[in-house]
């Protein structure tokens, strides 16, 4: 039996989720029984046949997905939208965050020697960086890279980031140069 009000509420919730939502969560939020939610989800699933999207139960939860037959057009849309490459400033800021996370915006600015507020907004908007709590001493927001960052770089974990040491200047040589300048 169809329940349009419940189905509409489920659709509204599923339109804004980033990860699959369990039947129990939906039932709790909507103040309905799990059986009612399951029945509504099953009815909705059948009602989307022939559409550009589908409703699927994956990994213990429900979510909308684009239809597999539309993958070429979705890929084109997503890739065309991502052709704007990151600026050098954004790449440098992202590198600082990746290697120093969790890190505050002020710390990133201090390391880079410039204000990074606008760049940080870009990185957050693109889903490469997210908030990671507050710094205990100052209350500053801390930032870290996202799973999307790892995915875009083709990494399984942050441990797969290349070592920085080969790219840093020879510190012994730098010390010698600094000493010669002060003599």
SS (H, E, C) the chain: CCCHHHHHHHHHHHCCCCCCECHHHHHHHHCCCHHHHHHHHHHHHHHCCCCCEEEEEECCEEEEEECHHHHHHHHHHHHHHCCCCCCHHHHHHHHHHHHHCCEEHHHHHHHHCCCCHHHHHHHHHCCCEEEEEECCCCCCEEEEECHHHHHHHCCCCHHHCCCCHHHCCCHHHHHHHHHHHHC
Domain architecture of the chain: domains with CATH: 4-69 (1.10.10.10), 88-182 (1.10.10.10)
pLDDT of residue 164: 72
Residue ranges in the chain whose pLDDT is less than 50: none
Q: HSE, CB side, 13 Å, CA atoms: give it for residue 2.
A: 7
Please state, as a whole number, how many other Cβ atoms lie within 10 Å of the Cβ of residue 160.
10
Look up residue 70 and give its two tokens.
Answer: 């539309």
For residues 3 and 36, the answer to whether their CB atoms sit within 8 Å is yes
Q: Give the pLDDT score at 143.
A: 96
- pTM, whole model, 2 decimals? 0.49
| Cα angle: 136, vertex 137, 143; to 5 degrees | 55
Of 99, 141, 147, the closest CA to residue 121 belongs to 141
pLDDT 10s digits, 158-168: 888 888 766 66
**Taking a C-beta distance cutoff of 8 angstroms, is the pair 55, 64 a contact?**
yes
């Amino acid at each position: 039996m169809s329940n349009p009000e419940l189905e509409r509420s489920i659709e509204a919730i599923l339109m804004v989720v980033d990860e699959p939502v369990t039947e129990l969560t939906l039932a709790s939020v909507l103040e309905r029984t799990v059986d009612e939610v399951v029945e509504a989800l099953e009815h909705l699933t059948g009602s989307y046949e022939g559409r550009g999207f589908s409703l699927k139960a994956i990994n213990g939860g429900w979510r909308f997905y684009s239809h597999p037959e539309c993958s070429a057009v979705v890929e084109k849309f997503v890739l065309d939208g991502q052709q704007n490459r990151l600026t050098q400033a954004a790449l440098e800021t992202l590198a600082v965050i990746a290697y120093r996370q969790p890190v505050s915006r002020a710390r990133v600015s201090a390391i880079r020697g410039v204000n990074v507020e606008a760049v940080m907004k870009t990185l957050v908007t693109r889903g490469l960086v997210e908030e990671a709590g507050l710094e205990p001493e100052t209350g500053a927001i801390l930032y870290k890279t996202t799973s999307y960052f790892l995915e875009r770089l083709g990494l399984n974990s942050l441990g797969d980031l290349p070592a920085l040491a080969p790219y840093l200047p020879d510190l012994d040589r730098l010390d010698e140069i600094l000493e010669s300048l002060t003599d």
